[in-house]
Amino acid sequence: MSADEKSRNYIHVAREEQAKYMNALLQQNEKLRGQVATLESDYRRLENLQTSTAEELDGLRVKLDGVEQENRRYMEEHHQIETHNSNLANLYVASYQLHSSVDRDAVLRTIQEIVINLIGSEEVAIFERGASNDFNLVSAFGIESSKLLKFRLGDGPIGRTLAAGETFVNSHARGGESQLTACVPLKINDTIVGGILIFSLLEHKRELAPVDHELLELLAVHASTSLYCATLHGQVNAAVGA
């Protein structure tokens, strides 16, 4: 074989090898293109899935917030119902205690206990109208009796407050015999026969709650009747004993 033939044969073989190499490169490139397309498809699918998952999570968060709000509302309603039931129980107990005895001293103690335990004050005084129309102290707790002088209806701060005939409340009072937190008139047939004076509240209690106002109104109605009946009962027993 001549040199020229060898040269042409070498070129032919080189071209064939080059063609095979190019064809392999094209096949590899096509394969890579397919992989890229698959990866891009997977990427888009993952993006869509992520968006869908994020939307689902947002939806779940909204539902969860709604459930939590509903749960809080139910808890508040439950607390209100419990408080209401407790208040009703306190009112019932107070009313029952006031009418459970016709002993005058027992009635006075019951009034004090209602003020101390249910309303929350350890400074209470009870006045009663005497035959001379003076209002005299008949019971006191937590405050010096010597500072609670008798008075007439309409005279002095307490007399004027009592003369109004309505339950007086001042939640900002600091207590002491000169500052009333509440004044409850005791009436029989619209005639004021006595009064319950409440001075300072307990330290942990800043002001009277709505149920305290109900208790004061209960005292205004039932304490006067109970005390009046107990007084009559004592007078009848005294007359019978005489």
> What is the rounded distance in angstroms from the CA atom of residue 164 to the CA atom of residue 220?
13
Question: Does the pLDDT value for residue 174 go beyond 70?
Answer: no
Segment 9-54, tens digit of pLDDT = 655 666 676 677 677 777 777 887 777 777 777 777 777 777 777 7
pLDDT tens figures, 223-240? 999 998 988 888 888 888
**How does residue 206 score in pLDDT terms, banded at 50, 70 and 90?**
confident
CA-to-CA dists, residue 2 to 8, 10, 31, 101, 189, angstroms: 10, 12, 43, 145, 149
Question: Band of the pLDDT at 110, cuts 50, 70, 90?
Answer: very high
pTM over 0.75: no
Strands ordered across the beta sheet of 168-169: 151-152, 134-141, 124-129, 191-198, 182-188, 168-169
